[in-house]
Structure formats: structure tokens, C-alpha cells
Amino acid sequence: MAYNVQDIRAQFPILNQKIHGHPLVYLDNAATSQKPLVVINAISDYYLNYNANVHRGVHTLSQRATDGMESVREQVRAHINAKEAAEIIFTRGITDSINTIAFGLSSIVSKGQNVVITEMEHHSNIVPWQMLCERTGAELRYFPVNAHGELVVDQIDTIIDKDTAVVSFNHISNALGTINPVQLLLKKAQSVGAWTLVDGAQSGPHAMVDVQEWDVDFFTLSSHKMYGPTGLGILYGKRERLEALPPYQGGGEMIATVTMKESSYAGIPHKFEAGTPHIEGIIGFGAALTFVNELGIENIAAHESELLAYAVEQCSSIEGFRIIGDSLNKASVLSFVVDGTHSYDLGVLLDQQGVAIRTGQHCTQPIMDAFCVSGTARASFALYNTKEEIDLFKAALVKAVNMLK
């Protein structure tokens, strides 16, 4: 199927509006993507026709809702090639997924061991590990980043050693766009028997991942960055790893038996899904996955790479324009500063011209510090963006810079 961006845009009515009198140019996709009609319709179909709680009722609506939710679990399994659907846990988001694992490892990681992350992690892949290290006395280590925004892996044999308990890092950086050498890091981590986690927040919408090929222990995705609803994350875990961890939260539906004295827990995935799940979100995410897969993630990635190359070419002529993170291997994130301006001011002036970008630290303060910037302006491209929008973005940026200098 030919990639027809105008047909695709017709699926996203939100894009067809004016902001401050200008056509909306939405370039904040790394924060959250817009939702196509098929997702919105799937959610409204759920509420119009089969809203009920899941795994609880014998009645027909509850059965339909349960079947709908469980069919998405199977869809996600197939999407990332997990061995079984029980290895797919529905969480509240990437943050919730990582906290679930970091909490669960509290009684497994101990003093004398270390936890390895990277300098380009989102705070949600830093703070839970710092908290784990505080609880256990383990040491937190990280891979530094070079001037191109790539991981420096020369010291891999000293950073990951026989005492490494956990290695956790992102597949693609939200602040820089860098695509990390996942298999290199995983192989080393596996050679010392460490637990491994890959944060796929930014790769979900751009790259196909096969968790069995990677042989990773945990992999997490965000629905809302993949054209699905907010408030939903996917946590994949290998059966034996998930079974070895205690549940993160206690409550309904995660138990086998409860007496006034004690409780025993259900098997996976339910052990990690206490309480009523985000049923509408899961149903909507199923529709989002179908949408993305019908377009083809490779086709989407090729379209976005073209947009990134075009944006870089267009913006390079702006005086003082500096890209933060110019690895050759990167996804469609353009993080930049313009010397003599503040990213926040650029963001406000772009918004006044209809262009939505993100500014600031992107919840990645350590990598901002490493680049000695207080923050960046970030344009991130999605499957519905066009070269015409990049022309509007560039024109708006030039105008903003001229106003500020």
C-alpha cells in the first residue's frame, strides 16, 4: 500500500484546526501522539455497547469486555513476539512498568551489587533505580554519552561486571532521538546473569521489536505514544522472571485466596494487575496497534526519517541553530538550541504561530547537564506529519529567532 499522508491525516480530525489563527502543526509526538478515528471509535463502541467490568461477571457484557481486553493481550503478544499472552501485563504507563520491576527487585538486589543505566534515560528510568539502590545499598552506575549523543561503550566490561544485578536502558532516547545498541548491551548483561529491562517508550511507534530475539527479561511500551489512549502501558516480562518477583500492588483480582490472616497470589499476568484495569484504554490500544500495523512500522519509520532529514537540512541555515544529539543512528526527534535564545521563549513564539513543540528538559535532566544546556526545543515527527508542516515550522522558527535576537 502506498504511503498516502493526506489519507492518513484524514484519520486524525484533531489536526484539522487553527491555533491562534494558524493551521496547527503538531510536532510534539514524542510527548504524546494524536489518536486516529479508529481508536476513538473503538472506545466509544465499548462505552456504547459493552461497558462492564472484566474477569468478574458471568453476564454477557462482562464476557464481551473480558474477551475484548484479552484479545488485545494476544495482539500485543504477537506484536512483540512474546512466547505467551500471560507475559503481557497492562500497567498505567512506562513509569508504572519500571516501578513495578524496580520495586519487585528489592529483595533480590543486595549491597555489593550494582544497577546499570545510561546518562540519557528519562527520569522514570533513573529515579526508581535510585530508590532501589537506596533501599538495598546497591550502587547505581551509568554509561556516559559522547558529543553526538551516543552511548560510550568502550568501558562496557568495567561498567557491567560480575556484580551487576540489573541493566536498564531506553531503546530510543526521547531527548536526543539516539537509537541505542540494544543487543550489545543485552549480550553483555546476559553474560553476567543480570536482569535486563528495555524502555521502548520511543521505539514503539517507530521500530518492530522481537523480545525473544533480544532475549530481554522486561520490555515496556506506552500506548499513548503509539496512537493509543493515555494511562496505559505494556510490560512484557519473561514468565520465569515475572514469577520470581512479588506483586507491586495488592487488591482485587490479583489474588488466588484471601483470608483475614493472609493471601495467596494469582499467577501471571493477574498477579501484577490489581484492581479494575484501564479497559477502554486497552480496547483503544488494540485499535491503535491494528492501525499502525496496517500502515507498517517500516513504512512509518521511512516516512519519519525523510521528515527528519528534511528538517535538519532546512534548519541548518538558521544562525546559531545547534542540534543536541546528532547520532547517525537516530529516530525522528530533532532536539535543538538556537544560541542567544531560550528554548521556552522559542516554544511560546512557535505556539503563537500554530506550531506545537516541546521545550525544556524533557524529564531527562542528566543528559541536559551533560550537554551543558538548561533545556532544548524539541520537534518530534509522527506518521501524519508532512514536509509542508516542516516548512511552516522553519518559517515560524526563523520569525521567533528574529524576534528574540
Measuring CA to CA, which residue among 358, 337, 339 is closest to residue 348?
Answer: 358
Would you say the C-alpha torsion 18, 21, 22, 26 has a positive or negative sign?
negative
E strand residue ranges, 327-370: 333-338, 355-356, 358-360
Tell me whether residue 222 or residue 332 sits nearer to ligand 7TS (CB atom).
222
Tell me whether residue 170 or residue 385 sits nearer to ligand 7TS (CB atom).
170
Q: How far is the CB of 122 from ligand 7TS (least distance, A)?
A: 3
Encode 213-249: b = buried (16+ Cβ within 10 Å), e = exposed: ebebbbbbbbbbbbbbbeebbbbbbbeebbeebebbe
The footprint of ligand 7TS on this chain (CB under 6 A) covers a number of residues equal to 17
Q: Which of 99, 222, 353, 376 binds ligand 7TS (CB under 6 A)?
A: 222
Tell me whether residue 50 or residue 227 sits nearer to ligand 7TS (CB atom).
227
Binding region for ligand 7TS (CB under 6 A) out of 197-205, 234-242, 252-260, 316-324: 197-205
Q: Is 118 in the site for ligand 7TS (CB under 6 A)?
A: no
Binding region for ligand 7TS (CB under 6 A) out of 12-20, 119-127, 258-266, 321-329: 119-127
Q: Which of 30, 69, 182, 377 binds ligand 7TS (CB under 6 A)?
A: 30
Show which residues are catalytic.
Answer: 363
Q: Is 362 in the site for ligand 7TS (CB under 6 A)?
A: yes
Q: Which of 358, 366, 367, 368 binds ligand 7TS (CB under 6 A)?
A: 358
Q: Is 99 in the site for ligand 7TS (CB under 6 A)?
A: no
Q: How far is the CB of 194 from ligand 7TS (least distance, A)?
A: 20
Q: Is 164 in the site for ligand 7TS (CB under 6 A)?
A: no
Q: How far is the CB of 121 from ligand 7TS (least distance, A)?
A: 7
Long-range CB contacts for residues 312-319, cutoff 8 Å, separation at least 24: 314/390, 314/391, 314/394, 315/394, 315/397, 318/394, 318/397, 318/398, 318/401, 319/401
Q: In angstroms, rounded to a whole number, what is the distance separating the alpha carbons of residues 334 and 316? A: 12
Q: How far is the CB of 173 from ligand 7TS (least distance, A)?
A: 7
Binding region for ligand 7TS (CB under 6 A) out of 12-20, 196-204, 259-267, 284-292: 196-204
Q: In this structure, are residues 382 and 205 in contact, taking their beta carbons and an 8 Å threshold?
A: yes
Q: Is 127 in the site for ligand 7TS (CB under 6 A)?
A: no
Q: In this structure, are residues 282 and 90 in contact, taking their beta carbons and an 8 Å threshold?
A: yes
Q: How far is the CB of 28 from ligand 7TS (least distance, A)?
A: 8
Q: Is 368 in the site for ligand 7TS (CB under 6 A)?
A: no
Q: Which of 87, 119, 199, 280 binds ligand 7TS (CB under 6 A)?
A: 199
Give strand pairing partners of 140. Answer: 115
Helix, strand, coil percent content, the chain, rounded in steps of 5: 40, 20, 40
Q: How far is CA 339 from CA 27, 231, 275, 357, 371, in A?
A: 21, 37, 50, 18, 14
Binding region for ligand 7TS (CB under 6 A) out of 15-23, 68-76, 120-128, 129-137: 120-128
Q: Is 122 in the site for ligand 7TS (CB under 6 A)?
A: yes
Contacts of 278 (CB under 8 A, 6+ apart): 90, 92, 229, 231, 232
Which one-letter amino acid corresponds to residue 81? N
Q: Which of 39, 65, 138, 201 binds ligand 7TS (CB under 6 A)?
A: 201
Q: Count other C-beta atoms under 10 Å from residue 294's C-beta.
A: 10
Tell me whether residue 156 or residue 201 sits nearer to ligand 7TS (CB atom).
201
Half-sphere exposure of 330 (CA within 13 A, CB side): 26
Plot region of 193 (φ>0 → left; ψ -120 to 50 → alpha; else → beta): left
Q: How far is the CB of 222 from ligand 7TS (least distance, A)?
A: 5
Contacts of 12 (CB under 8 A, 6+ apart): 34, 35, 36, 37, 384
- How does strand 233-237 pair with strand 218-222? antiparallel
Binding region for ligand 7TS (CB under 6 A) out of 48-56, 117-125, 211-219, 347-355: 117-125
Q: Which of 202, 327, 341, 343 binds ligand 7TS (CB under 6 A)?
A: 202
Q: Count other C-beta atoms under 10 Å from residue 250's C-beta.
A: 13
Q: Which of 174, 178, 314, 327 binds ligand 7TS (CB under 6 A)?
A: 174
Residues that bind ligand 7TS (CB under 6 A): 30-31, 93-95, 122, 124-125, 170, 174, 199, 201-202, 222, 358, 362-363
